[in-house]
Structure 1
Amino acid sequence: MRGSEPKILILGGTAEAAALASAFAELPVKAITSLAGRTSNPARLTGTVRIGGFGGPAGLANYIRVEKIHLVIDATHPYAARISQNAVIATEATKTPLVRLERPAWEKQPDDNWIDISGEAEAANAILPHARVFLALGRQHIAPFAKRADVHFVMRMIDPPEAALPPDCELILARPGDFAAEKQFLEKRKIGLIVSRNSGGTISYAKIEAARALGLPVMMISRPPVAARNIVASPEEAITFARTSLGF
């Protein structure tokens, strides 16, 4: 690639970040996708990929300076609040444009039975004894539930967790299924409650649709506030922002 092409840092780990990397490969820019490295076998991405943390906002700011990054696109998970905040601090320190790609949250439908919850700790305390719960959270978010020996948890994730598991639990290493598969999953295990984050998107929405069909309550953990000033809702909007900011 030509050295004069603007460099874009994509803070990734989502389907939207992968779509951006593919799109930028066809444009006169150099995109670098950064992954936290929490998944042992991440999906293959187009273009340059770096794996690992930056060492806080100062480390990210140093990376931006050394690599001469022209634009940062924060396309991390809606709940990755720490890296998003670090991106704000680092781009302000380096005077680098930043745009947050925040996929739209799921909207509650008339037949949904959602219980709004502020975080995992509150959810762990609110679950009734002897409940059968599908804990639809990432492996790094299960620690608050480990103390609940009086609850049967079903957990499904891509990689096994490093934290201690609840005493009464079933761990399934798998990805989400479609509506029929999720409905069968919940019925087979006699799930009475789901604990979920409002991740948005289509990949994991089938469990919400299945819960609606079965009349199951869902403890929906609220999203953290967005710290960035510039916010878009799709890869297409992020590309438009990049074109406007960088003039390509």
Structure 2
Amino acid sequence: MIYVIGGTHECRQICEILKHHHLPFILSVATKLGEDTYGHYADRLIVKRLDAVSMDALIRAEKINWVIDASHPHAVLVSQQAIEAAKATGTTYTRFVRKTQEDAASYGKFFENEEEALNYLSGQQGQIMVTGSKTLEEAIKVLGLERIVARVVPSTESLHQCEHLGLKPNQIIALLGPFSVEMNRLLLKTYHISYLMFKEGGEGSGYIEKLKACQLEKVKAIVVKVPYINYREVTESYEALLEKIKDYYNRHVAHDNSSCK
């Protein structure tokens, strides 16, 4: 059995590849939005934030022999817990993340973490668009409420948080990305944005489109780098993952079928 940890758009294609090869798998996502977005691609779905202990229990109970981690690259704790659970159970672990297009990332100012980015912005003038709900509370503390425009996913959880933090309706953009360069440009112009703060991401995540839109609109891109994690194994393309899937099939499915003859 294979366990896929969702959280990025890549998990959809991973599920499709596994289904195409008739490999049983379990997909876990943390939120209702994840369920609505990716749930119908899964053979079996878990909608819950799992920690290392619950991942360990799942691996043992379901006889998982391969963990494919397709969680968000900034969800450091999730990956660390998955690595811990896989190591404790002797399970193969593969981190799947699309490689960033380095040549397209020349525009913008890069920071190691959100704290550094917010400290920099505190000394600047102008409206700031912040993407993602997890950064909002700290951003408002450091920058003040009036300067913030929040771009969040259209989930009940995110909208409740925006309301709780005191953001007005004209400060909230609730849309599900990734967006095109043109859509990003339109939002930046409409809200008179001087700085766009967002997280570094891989190809296909909408990251490059944000950078290009900022460059065209003369908006400063404030980018929080992907945290470094010493993954046990990293795969950066679907082609490489497909080779691993074929190898898994030969070792666990074809071998089992031949043993039954």
List aligned pairs for 1:1-248, cutoff 5 A. Answer: 7-37=1-31, 39=33, 42-44=36-38, 45-46=40-41, 47-54=43-50, 56-107=51-102, 109=104, 112=107, 114-127=108-121, 128-136=123-131, 138-147=132-141, 148-149=143-144, 152-158=147-153, 159=155, 160=159, 162=161, 164-165=164-165, 170-176=171-177, 177-204=179-206, 205-245=208-248, 247=251, 248=253
Q: CA deviation at 1:115?
A: 1.3
TM-score scaled by length of structure 2: 0.83
Q: CA deviation at 1:167?
A: 6.1
Identity %, equivalent residues: 21
Change (3 A) 1:201 1:109: closer
Letter paired with 1:240 = E
TM-score scaled by length of structure 1: 0.87
Unaligned runs of 5+ in 1: 1-6
Change (3 A) 1:146 1:157: same
Using the alignment, how far apart are the partners of 2:146 and 2:115 within structure 1? 15
- SS of the residue aligned with 1:9? strand
- SS of the residue aligned with 1:210? helix
Is contact 2:140–2:148 with CA below 8 Å preserved after alignment? Answer: no
Letter paired with 2:29 = L
Structure 1 window deviating more from structure 2 (154-163 vs 65-74): it is 154-163
Unaligned runs of 5+ in 2: 254-261
Change (3 A) 1:155 1:220: same
Is contact 1:139–1:161 with CA below 8 Å preserved after alignment? Answer: no
CA RMSD of aligned residues (A): 2.3
Determine which structure has the larger helix proportion and give its number: 2
Using the alignment, how far apart are the partners of 1:63 and 1:150 within structure 2? 42
Letter paired with 2:215 = R
Letter paired with 1:115 = K
Using the alignment, how far apart are the partners of 2:109 and 2:165 within structure 1? 24
Change (3 A) 1:195 1:161: farther
Is contact 2:97–2:202 with CA below 8 Å preserved after alignment? Answer: no
